[in-house]
Amino acid sequence: MKKIDPKKFSKSKTDKAGKVLAKDGDYDEKKFDAIDVLDNWRAAHSYPMHIFKMRLKKVSEKIDDEAISVQRLKRVPSILKKLTREYEGRKATMNLTQMQDIAGCRTVMSNLELANKLYEDEYLNSDLKHKKVNEKNYNLNPKSDGYRGIHLVYKYHSDKNKEDFNGLLVEIQIRSKIQHIWATSVETVDFFTKQAIKSNEGEYDWVFFFKLVSSAFAKLEGCPIIEGTPYDEKELYLKIKEFEKKLNVITRLEKWGSSLKYFEKISDKHNSKFFLLQLDTIQDTLNITSYKKNQEEFALKDYAIAEKKVINRDEYDIVLVGVDNLKDLKSAYPNYFIDTREFLKYLKIFINKY
């Protein structure tokens, strides 16, 4: 892969591009120039992200044979939403170069016990040469929207021949399988209902429904439940039943899943390492293009081009992910395949128990 220069644009120019993109208005030449700066900044994170992902895969599989480890560069719409929220609210001095999750690695462990073991053995007090700059344990203190998991942010450091990447931030997420099922189901509903439940900004009924289900999952895993939801199991399950009926959750999820058609442009299922996913809810299609390890440069370019074509169109969702095979891709990103079968299995247990 051709080396991507993180210093092609200065930090001040990169942050200036972020401020241009955070402002309202149509996309003109100035904004598209700013997108080019953002694309370079994002692509520059691909190398340190890969380093963190390789280690995450190694240590997670040492603990759990079923662990699934993936990497992804944050979608432009998600970056812009974060910049816009900070810019308009003026709650913080968020700059593009300060964003901690542009590059992310995630592992999904079979259960919470193994997820906690991975965190405690390999990341709690690790001797990594990379500096840990942030740590949030949402298992002990779940987010108000119901999200659980462990997030760690590191500042990449190399003392060899990769110094140009020093200081770039990479986020590591550790989830249990149940936590992953919940989070990806939220993303599925967000996309099809044009909400932001993931950011705790969705419609009240949907937000509360997912809080309830998160508490039910938390009780299964022996974790603190979400504030404002019933602790008593019967009361909790009946409340889930009430909101499932009100929102028609099961029917809607099953309908969305059955309507999706997907097309694969995969040259080599065994050697593909990067997958460009393009979800289109107008046509109900998912297009998947694969790339080999030595084709990452082309994958990054195609990612940037695809996003520019549908910028400001929330009917489309595009992401480039790094994963070892097609099977792991479907397990790690079931929301792109509109696969909520595992979530529905648990939901039906909850609503049928009482």
The two structure tokens encoding residue 252:
């809607």
Please tell me the predicted confidence (pLDDT) of residue 259.
78
Is 284 within 8 Å of 316 (Cβ atoms)? Answer: no
In angstroms, rounded to a whole number, what is the distance separating the alpha carbons of residues 62 and 315?
A: 40
Model confidence over 215-234: pLDDT tens digits? 999 999 999 999 999 999 99
Model confidence over 240-272: pLDDT tens digits? 999 999 999 999 999 988 877 877 776 666 688
Please tell me the predicted confidence (pLDDT) of residue 35.
93
The two structure tokens encoding residue 272:
């593909």
92 has pLDDT over 60: no
319 within some domain: yes
For residue 137, the domain's CATH number is 3.30.460.10
315 within some domain: yes
The residue that leads in pLDDT, 172 or 199, is 172
125 within some domain: yes
Please tell me the predicted confidence (pLDDT) of residue 24.
77
105 has pLDDT over 90: yes
Q: Span 265-286, mean pLDDT?
A: 83
Domain range for 188? 11-352
State the total domains in the chain: 1
The residue that leads in pLDDT, 313 or 151, is 151
86 within some domain: yes
Please tell me the predicted confidence (pLDDT) of residue 324.
86
DSSP string for residues in 246-292:
HHTHHHHHHHHHHH-EEEEE-S-TTTEEEEEEEEETTTTEEEEEEEE
Is 317 within 8 Å of 310 (Cβ atoms)? Answer: no
Other beta carbons less than 10 A from residue 342's beta carbon: 17
1 within some domain: no
171 within some domain: yes
89 has pLDDT over 60: no
4 within some domain: no
